Amino acid sequence: MRTQVAIIGAGPSGLLLGQLLHKAGIEAVIVERQSGDYVLGRIRAGVLEQVTMDLLDEAGVGRRMHQEGLIHGGFDMLFKGQRHRIDMNKLTGGKNVMVYGQTEVTRDLMDARQAAGLTTIYEAANVQVHDFDTKNPRVTWEKDGKTHELQCDFIAGCDGFHGVCRASAPRNAIREYEKVYPFGWLGLLSDTPPVHHELIYANSERGFALCSMRSETRSRYYLQVPLTDKVEHWSDQAFWDELRLRLDPEAREHLVTGPSIEKSIAPLRSFVTEPLRFGRMFLAGDAGHIVPPTGAKGLNLAATDVKYLFNGLVEYYQDKSEAGIDRYSELALKRIWRAERFSWWFTTLMHRFPENGEIGQKLQEAELDYIIHSEAGSRSVAENYVGLPLDFGS
């Protein structure tokens, strides 16, 4: 089998790249080690920046997003028992974000790919990448008792943090940066109306909390917990009781509880790989970087990686120029590090670090007080939250 671009991974970054390439008349085959149902079953974030919304429109899959997504022009920051709104729309000249679950983005992209009759190989075992340092890269995998081979011009590694693509890069050509945080997020999904029409980020002496949503009838809540905690030790009632203790009186009064649909604990880390290109293999999305979920940058960073890579591939095939693919790593990493900085800063601002003691809490509260009373401070938070422009600082 032969194609122009072999995409490893059928998550949102791989599917989005495949759809954009299809629209541009460039052939791509996606190879995924899991089943389609497994990919759709992963619970992930759901706050989309404008640049991501624009990309989904460009890919031709934005119709349902615009029908069902919830536009948010601001969010609340809660500290010392009081909430303060960051008016993103006003502070950024009219920009917003949209709440639309990553599962729904993935479903829309899967449906579009299936409708176009494009090739996606699910449940591919022992996926391997070969010869990406030559002009004739290959991908092999095993399925139905047979070994299969896909020849291609380029390999796009969209296979996540534990994928084969980054692991296959030569160790002497790659550098990895990582920070692991001493806590995780205990998340609960429930079919209950959200406590508030916009997100609430809470800094409390008991730890961080986030009130989010997937729709007007489905809510997603998070609590900062020690890494030693086990999800089975948290009953639904214990979760709701602890959440109430971290909210303000008004939110406690409006909180509607119910049985959990899904409950899990996710560790937090900041991680970046440099570079993102190895010969004719490129890394995109979680294969190249991880951000803490504070600020919702993960999916949006993956989408902008895809945009830079897509532009470079179009330039290669249509203009016979390698300038775009040569600059891919540089352009993507510049944006990645800016988002990493914001996610790290927002995480350190909103979470409880016991080793910092009472003075740490007081310093956080002082910085939060400055942010909400300073237009410049509020604007900085708003600009980063809605997403910096693709050409920012270029």
Catalytically active residues, by annotation: 72, 201, 293, 297, 385
Q: Phi/psi zone of residue 182: left (φ > 0), alpha (ψ -120 to 50 degrees), beta?
A: alpha
Structure-block tokens of residue 266: 């996710």
Nearest to 217 by CA among 195, 185, 246: 195
Q: In sequence order, what are the residues at sequence separation of 6 or more whose Cβ sits closer than 8 angstroms to the Cβ of residue 179?
A: 269, 270, 271, 344
- To 5 degrees, how large is the angle CA 387–CA 391–CA 394? 125
CB atoms within 10 A of CB 126: 11
Cβ atoms of residues 164 and 129 within 8 Å? yes
β-bridge partners, 8: 31, 157
Query: DSSP for 33-54?
Result: SS-HHHHHH-----EE-HHHHH
Strand 125-130 relative to strand 154-157, pairing: unpaired
Strand 200-203 relative to strand 75-79, pairing: parallel
* Residue 78 C-alpha from the chain's centroid: 24
Distance, CA of 338 to CA of 388 (rounded, Å):
9
In Å, how far are 59, 114, 207 from 185, measured between CA atoms? Answer: 32, 34, 11
Cβ atoms of residues 239 and 248 within 8 Å? no
Nearest to 188 by CA among 228, 226, 107, 242: 242
E strands present in the chain: 5-8, 28-31, 47-48, 70-72, 75-79, 82-86, 97-99, 120-121, 125-130, 138-143, 146-151, 154-157, 175-190, 200-203, 209-213, 219-226, 260-274, 277-278, 281-283, 289-290
Distance, CA of 343 to CA of 295 (rounded, Å):
6
Cβ atoms of residues 97 and 1 within 8 Å? no
